[in-house]
Structure 1
Amino acid sequence: MTYLVGYSPHKDDSCALALACQLARSESDTVTAVTVVPRGWETVAGSATDGDFEQWAAEEGEASAAEAQGRLGAYPDVQSSAIWVTGRSVPAAILDEAKRLDAALIVVGSGQDGPEGQVSVSSKVDRLLHSSHVPVAIAPRGYAPAVSSTVTRVTLAFRDDDATWNLLDRVATICQRVGAELRLMTVALKQRTMVSSGVRRNETLVYANLVEQVTAAQTEAVEHLASQGITASTLVATGDSWPDALASVPFADGDVLVVGSSSTHKLANVFLGSSAAKILRNSTVPVIVVP
């Protein structure tokens, strides 16, 4: 089983390579870095312009693959390789390679315009997230774990719906296999409105009831896992906004965050719902989005 890394010669994707190797090391899997270079348009046979373009594309691909392989050399304990392919759409070409290689996971880096140390979704990654048939892992910008590190804790964004319950069992099994801790996190936002004290008291009661329901659902999930011999901790992330709530969650080296895609979408692929998208874009640790 291999983890496919989308590697670009035009930006620093070492964080994606580092994350892929960290994940692969945890599962004793392999890593394949893939560079996508432009594919030429159909032209008259023998066109010099077409030949020049193909030569340039091949040189770009070879150089990028060599660069990726050189960076992968920093992780000698992980079996890895680097290749290049042509395509008119980077996300489509990556998905095609994921199918061809039977990849278990696609790993990408954050957009260059995002803040350092936080997950940022570029337009290409956004299209990938809405089309992938396999989980997609996104490294925060500048992510640089220790060379020999593994995943030590998985935080699952828990919604208490059927899709999340199915995901719970899958994630718990993986955690048990790799020896990682499992933590269930539910976000409960406070509503701030300028109203009378009486209405504010009612809102406080509503929020307290919400937290009580969330806690009860998490307790049920923990008991379900305990019946299978699996231990999990819980956390309710609170705040006035999504950034505040995510900032309140204590994360450490070796943490990854897992979110499921929308349970209302009909296709069996990644399609982010509103909550998952907000969690993703405010995370300071790698995020794995699961179909």
Structure 2
Amino acid sequence: MRFENVLTGFIPEARGRDGLTLAVLLARQTGARLTVAAVKPPAWGPPGPARADAGAWAAYLDEQAAATLDQARELTGELAGKEIGENAAYLAYTHKGSGRGLVELARKRSADVVVIGSAPSGGKDRIALGSTADQLLHASPVPVLLAPRGYADEPPAALERLTVAYRRGPGADAAVKRAAAIATGLDLPLRLVTLVLRSGRPARAEEEMLARLRDQAAADLKSAARGHRRRTQVEVEILEGRNVAQAMRAGTWLPGELVICASSDSGPLRRVFLGDTSIKIVRAATRPVMILTRQP
């Protein structure tokens, strides 16, 4: 899997800067072309005398979109220098929903990934799923990459490692294969992690159950890593906790870590579709998370 065209949606807010910072980082490291989009609402105009007001509203929306893209262009230049900033495409796109607009734009621009920031309701270094992310995570034809809130405040100099949240199944195995290809292309190590959750049962029953789960997880991770170590460095790790958030905190996360999740096996083919566990991982992660599309 290669990244040749990175698309990011930008708004003149902190979450817009977070998403753009991550998009620039990915474009710079992969050599991809960057497309920055400002999705603006349509200027619906009533018939009759009110059309003049509708025209003024449309002009205002165009002016706001142009100002937004000017800010994005300046910020991109600061983050990436003239080479990426001047070669990037900056465009306004009209749609009622920002996420659905980015879905359409991803198809039209042949994007390889869509990058956005967290909704403002999330805590520092956390990802919250707002309406834009929700629309993308149910319809995007390409992977979606989410930046945690505040990512632009102290961004890493480069991506350092890819971590795949692994649970045995066709979707996760396909995700490992695609992640291994990305890691090889970027000359990065790959880590496969499986979450083992405690049930809260009586102590003896709990320990017996956990021992079986650990053994099964270790066997699954060994099998998943087999064949990929010839191309890149692959680590495996079991993260344990009473819930997904606690298990995620048990791991060690590099500043330039990128987490990869597979779409749910029950979702539509070649679309992003999150299952319950993946949603919990996204919300618990303190690093950017990429959700891959479901492959046949």
Q: Deviations for 1:231-256, whole angstroms, at most 9, x for unmatched residues?
A: 30011110111111111111112110
By how many angstroms is 1:49 displaced? 1.3
Residues 77-86 or 252-261, more deviating: 77-86
Aligned to 1:52: 56
Q: Which amino acid aligns with 1:233?
A: E
1:231 alignment partner, one of 215, 230, 233: 233
TM-score by length of 2: 0.91
Give CA deviations for 1:86-115 in whole Å, capped at 9, x if unaligned.
211111111111111111100000011110
CA distance in structure 2 between the aligned counterparts of 1:265 and 1:85, rounded to whole angstroms: 28
Work out whether residues 69 and 81 of structure 1, in 8 Å CA contact, stay in contact via their aligned partners in 2. no
- Aligned equivalent of 1:97: 105
What residue is the counterpart of 2:142 in the other structure? 134
User: Which shifted more, 92-101 or 40-49?
Assistant: 40-49
Secondary structure of the 2:260 match is strand
Is the Cα–Cα contact under 8 Å of residues 159 and 256 in structure 2 kept in the other structure? Answer: yes
Paired with 1:271 and 1:148, the residues of 2 have a C-alpha distance of 28
What's the counterpart of residue 74 of structure 2?
Answer: 70
Superposition TM-score, scaled by structure 1 size: 0.93
C-alpha distance in 2 between matches for 1:206 and 1:234: 21
Match of 1:43 among 42, 46, 55: 46
Shift of 1:12: 4.2
The answer as to whether partners of 2:200 and 2:206 remain within 8 angstroms in 1 is: no
- Percent identical among aligned pairs is 27
Asked if structure 1 preserves the Cα contact closer than 8 Å seen for 2:106 and 2:141, the reply is no
SS at match of 1:224: coil
Instruction: Output the CA distance in 1 between the equivalents of 2:270 and 2:188.
Output: 27
Structure 1 vs Structure 2 CA RMSD: 1.7
3-state SS, counterpart of residue 73 of structure 1: helix
166 and 147 in structure 1: CA distance in 2 versus 1, 3 angstrom threshold: closer
Change (3 A) 1:52 1:42: closer
Gaps of 5+ in 2: none
- Aligned partners of 1:273 and 1:137: how far apart in 2? 16
SS in 1 for 2:199: coil
Gap regions ≥5 residues in structure 1: none
Partners of 2:13 and 2:241 in 1: how far apart?
38
The aligned length equals 285
Q: Which amino acid aligns with 2:275?
A: G
Distance 1:40 1:144, change over 3 A: closer
Contact kept, 8 Å, 1:262 with 1:273, in 2: the verdict is yes
CA offsets 1:55-106 (integer angstroms, 9 cap, x no match):
1111111110101111001111534232212211111111111111111100
The 3-state SS of whatever aligns with 2:176 is: helix
Deviation at 1:7, TM superposition (A): 0.8
